[in-house]
Structure 1
Amino acid sequence: MKNILILAAFPLMVAACTPTVKLEAPDKPIEINMNIKIEQEVRIRVEKDLDKQIMANPDLFGTSTPSKKK
């Protein structure tokens, strides 16, 4: 009797141990929130203004001759 019970329970235990992987597509679209800070334009403006000031006042900034930018 004990052997029959073990034999009957064995397939149930084996079936319970099988791994199950389910792949489902999401029902809603994936939403990505990105907070990006763009500073490139500001830096270019500051660099241009700084170049103008250096060229206008070479002695003040420690340069003997103003640099020419192409």
Structure 2
Amino acid sequence: MKRPVIIACAALASLTSGCVNVTAPDKPIVINLNINVTQEVVYRLDGEAKSLIQSNPGIF
């Protein structure tokens, strides 16, 4: 009695299992990255360095 049930379950499982196909796409994959980079530089000079730069503008 158990053997026919096991065979029937195995046959049912083999009939319901599908085939999986993996294929590459025809067109290339395009990834569009819109990136906005903003940089802000904050600097502070002490009074002596600031006056030195103002008195000698060609130093840099």
Whether TM exceeds 0.5 here: the answer is no
Give the shorter-chain TM-score range: 0.3 to 0.5
Q: Work out which structure has the larger RCO, using CA pairs closer than 8 Å and 6 or more positions apart in sequence.
A: 1
TM-score by length of 1: 0.40
